[in-house]
Chains A and B, each alone.
Chain A
Amino acid sequence: DVKVTQSSRYLVKRTGEKVFLECVQDMDHENMFWYRQDPGLGLRLIYFSYDVKMKEKGDIPEGYSVSREKKERFSLILESASTNQTSMYLCASSFGRFFAGTDTQYFGPGTRLTVL
């Protein structure tokens, strides 16, 4: 079974802190994604990566950055956390575009971040 793990289930940080959210997958997937989920807004894509050191902006990249130094690990960074970044953050991964099944994403359990 595909396993996507996230470093924390719950996280509480203060305004202005630098926050790191880590995601690791064990299926050698090329693609990795970060979403945030808010009531009434569904899932919104923040950033995604289709290869090591490659990254692309999603729909709401402002206030976030990402890092992918190794294939299995994709980090989301909040450079200076703000209260409006309080949310559920979900990581996902999928096979690369030249593989069958590239369309299916596998999700981690999520990190509920609260910024005070």
Chain B
Amino acid sequence: GNSVTQMEGPVTLSEEAFLTINCTYTATGYPSLFWYVQYPGEGLQLLLKATKADDKGSNKGFEATYRKETTSFHLEKGSVQVSDSAVYFCALYAGGTSYGKLTFGQGTILTVHP
């Protein structure tokens, strides 16, 4: 079956530090890959996505590259801010007859200190 594995958190960084959150996946075929972000007290928001190998998704200074050879979609940001403190979810969409169902990772809590 399909699965997504995220690095375990929580992750604590100082402002302006470099961020990497690892995500690897298992899926048949060619899934679409996503990062969602959940700010405190809110629902999930789409942060970025990539739909095929070597695609790079980017938004708000965050980037992730779809690496089929390593089945990975690691999230990076060069300089984090306090406002980036949130829970980050990696997810995949396998397509076919899945009716839009996503498979989510466990989530990684990020805390950024001033």
Contact = CB atoms under 8 A, between A and B. Distances in A.
Interface of A: 4, 31, 33, 40-43, 45, 48, 50, 56, 58, 90, 92, 94-97, 102-110
B99 A56 contact: yes
Contacts of A48: 99-101
A105 B106 contact: no
A90 B87 CA distance: 15
Contacts of B110: none
B44 interface: yes
Given A40-B106, A103-B93, A103-B95, A94 B43 contact: no
A42 B106 contact: yes
Contacts of A103: 32, 34, 49, 51, 93, 95, 100, 102
Given A40-B106, A42-B89, A42-B106, A108 B43 contact: yes
Contacts of A95: 100
B32 to A, nearest CB: 5
Contacts of A109: 41-43
B84 to A, nearest CB: 19
A42 B100 contact: no
A97 B104 contact: no
A42 B43 contact: no
Interface string B39-80: 001111110010100000000000000000000000000000
B19 to A, nearest CB: 20
Contacts of A45: 101
